Amino acid sequence: MSATNSISADLAKEDLPRIFVIVNNLDDIQALLRYLEKTYYQVEVSTKNNSVIGKYQEFKPDLVLVDINSDKQEGFDLVDKMTFLSGRELVPIIYLAKEYSDEALSECIANDGADLLSQPYDENILKAKLYTYTSLARLDRSAKTQRQELEDHNKQLASNYEIAIDVFENVIHSDVLDSPAIRYSISPTSIFNGDILLAAHRPSGELQVMLGDFTGHGLSAAIGTIPVADIFYGMTAKGFGISEIIVEINAKVKKILPRGLFLAACLFEYDIDSSKVSIWNAGLPDALIFDDQDKHVKYQFSSRNYPLGVSDTVSYSTTVENYYISENERLLFFTDGIIEARNPKGKMYGLDNVISCISNTKVGESVIDPLTENINTFTQGIKQADDTTVIEVHFSKLQKPDTAEKNTNNNCTFIFNSDWRIDYTFEPTILKVFDPLPNIIQMIMEVQKLHCHKQNIFIIIKELFVNALDHGLLGLDSKIKNGPDGFSNYVVERQKRLEVLTEGEINITISHTGTSDGGSLDVYISDTGKGFDTSIITSLLKNHSQYHSRGIFMTNSICEKLEYSDSGRKVHAQYCWKA
């Protein structure tokens, strides 16, 4: 036999069932041993002595044959020890005796035996029993191994799920959602959620919220939540509005999701100064504005766009809806899992039931709990096919983030003694389609690392830039904003003038002078408009309760210096910081 065949034979022998034979006298079982030599079993024979238990542990048999011809009790005692050592592992015991009787079999079974064989041995019966019991032992061992592997796999899977859930929670959840002005409920149908709810403030204070619903549910639907959340939070922190954010999210979703998977979404931005809410709905049910006093739905924002990821391009300017919030008004919007929740008869909950639930809530009471309870009653506890998420925004409770709190020096890395300057020029073709502020702010953050002062810097540059555009190039009068519909009229007129703007430019120069413990950021903005009477600014700062004076008043309060010149066509703001 070759060396290779010898190794194969040894390996094959190792795989054979193992039979451990314990005897008093080898002469008593010669017939059995001769039969075993002809079979495909690994056989180990031991006489009853002090080393038999050690041999049993070392051999690890699938079946044990115990001779009880001369000393029955000694055999029972050995089996008791082996059974204890085997624990939960199945190792069948067959007792060997000279005679067979029902009483003898009962006694053997009572002493942990599986069967009893008596002389003379019938080869057919012997063959069947050896095969049956060794197969049972191996099957039990295989089942236990598979069960242990499955338990280990489930433990690892559960651990991975916990890690993944923590990652999802850390990436997606925002402290803004914990605001007393926001109530929400998320009910996934599986561990991972295809619904996504994001909320954050822009550096200038506007609240931006996104509710999304990926196709399907579970892990396949949740895979897109992390990149979407990363884009939303990253761009919001840089100052981008929802118009720019949806373009980036659409491109990302279109790129990473397989064909047939997309993201239905509703985004809104709320400006607390103007009370204006801008809503862009792409594939979600109607968002509802309702009055908390009379519980009537005042306006419904229907979907006017394809879900994100369906088309290469998205439309914003023609599909966004603006609404000016009045006192006591709230916003409620939700994923289609709410209106498509079914009862045992297959009937859907529907939008009418949502509106009815709103009308039945008490004044000052959130709709979230009554709505979820009403849906649970309607569905009668049957498992639903889709995730459900609902959010309610109580606008009168919303507050701008605390500027002083945001602009602290905690955990900031400053660059000292640095002097630099950057210049920008923007003409009408760019101003019509591009908001330069987030990129300007990002440039300052990258050059000077003033992240702890980002909100103040954003407020300053935004206010001065918007004034240069609105009052300089577009020639808008702030008095238009006066009155209950003032802001709405102002926005409409602003858009009209911007669309027909063909001449003029805005120049921005930002310079920094560093010291050993801080620095001075100087912002110079000029426009080529007609200018205005700068004494108006002085008047506005004295009477900042007017709608249209709040921005410049805040800017003046955080600047070291704020000066207008050249009939209002030039402005210089100085912001000083210290580590």
Neighbouring CB atoms inside 10 A of 75's CB total 25
Query: Residues 70-101: pLDDT tens digits?
Result: 788 888 999 999 989 888 888 999 999 888 88
Q: Please identify which residue in the block is written with the tokens 């904003």.
A: 481
167 located within any domain: no
369 located within any domain: yes
Question: CATH number of the domain that 33 lies in?
Answer: 3.40.50.2300
Token readout for 453 is: 């002062």
pLDDT given at position 408: 47
Residues 448 and 533 in one domain: yes
Residues 106 and 48 in one domain: yes
Average pLDDT over residues 394-406: 72
* pLDDT above 50: residue 5: no
* pLDDT above 70: residue 8: no
Confidence of residue 493 (pLDDT cuts 50, 70, 90): confident
User: Out of 3-12, 152-161, 339-348, 562-571, which region has the weakest mean confidence (pLDDT)?
Assistant: 3-12
pLDDT given at position 479: 79
550 or 250, which is more confident: 250
177 located within any domain: yes
Residues 353 and 447 in one domain: no
Query: Residues 352-385: pLDDT tens digits?
Result: 999 999 999 999 899 999 999 999 999 988 888 7
- 120 prior amide bond cis, ω within 30: yes
Residues 457 and 503 in one domain: yes
With a pLDDT cut of 90, the percent of the chain lying above it is: 41
Question: CATH number of the domain that 276 lies in?
Answer: 3.60.40.10
391 located within any domain: yes
Q: What CA–CA distance (Å, rounded) separates 275 from 479?
A: 17
SS3 call for 483: coil
Question: CATH number of the domain that 568 lies in?
Answer: 3.30.565.10
Give long-range contacts, CB 8 A cutoff, 24+ apart: 102-105: none
Residues 384 and 409 in one domain: no
Residues 460 and 489 in one domain: yes
The H or E element that residue 134 is part of is helix 123-172
Q: Please identify which residue in the block is written with the tokens 């609240």.
A: 207
327 or 549, which is more confident: 327
- When divided into structural domains, the chain yields a total of 3
Q: What predicted TM-score, i.e. pTM, was given to this entire model? A: 0.70
User: Out of 263-272, 291-300, 406-415, which region has the weakest mean confidence (pLDDT)?
Assistant: 406-415
Residues 391 and 409 in one domain: no
With a pLDDT cut of 70, the percent of the chain lying above it is: 91
Token readout for 328 is: 């006591």
148 located within any domain: no
Query: Residues 280-302: pLDDT tens digits?
Result: 999 999 999 999 998 999 999 99
pLDDT given at position 12: 55
Residues 411 and 360 in one domain: no
pLDDT given at position 199: 94
Q: What CA–CA distance (Å, rounded) separates 342 from 547?
A: 47
- 348, 382, 397: which is the final residue of a domain? 397
Domain that holds residue 111: 3-143
Q: Could you tell me how far CA 126 lies from the centroid of its own chain?
A: 62
Which of 24-28, 40-44, 45-49, 158-162 is the most confident on average?
40-44
Residues 385 and 413 in one domain: no
For the stretch 360-397, what's the b/e string if a residue is b when 16 or more beta carbons lie within 10 angstroms of its beta carbon?
Answer: ebeeeebbbeebbebbeebbeeeebebbbbbbbbbbee
DSSP characters over 149-208: HHHHHHHHHHHHHHHHHHHHHHHH--GGGGSTTEEEEEE-SSSS-SEEEEEEE-TTS-EE
- 333, 365, 397: which is the final residue of a domain? 397
Confidence of residue 3 (pLDDT cuts 50, 70, 90): very low
Query: Residues 411-435: pLDDT tens digits?
Result: 567 788 889 999 999 999 999 888 8
Whether 312 contacts 306, CB under 8 Å:
no
Residues 300 and 256 in one domain: yes
409 located within any domain: yes
221 located within any domain: yes
Q: Please identify which residue in the block is written with the tokens 């079993």.
A: 41
pLDDT given at position 191: 65
Average of per-residue pLDDT values in the chain: 86
Whether 72 contacts 42, CB under 8 Å:
no
Residues 382 and 447 in one domain: no
* pLDDT above 60: residue 404: no
Amino acid at 505: E
- 397, 432, 463: which is the final residue of a domain? 397
Confidence of residue 221 (pLDDT cuts 50, 70, 90): low
Task: Give the β-pairing of 297-301 and 287-291.
Answer: antiparallel
452 located within any domain: yes
Residues 393 and 435 in one domain: no
Query: Residues 466-482: pLDDT tens digits?
Result: 999 998 999 988 777 77
Token readout for 194 is: 């295809």
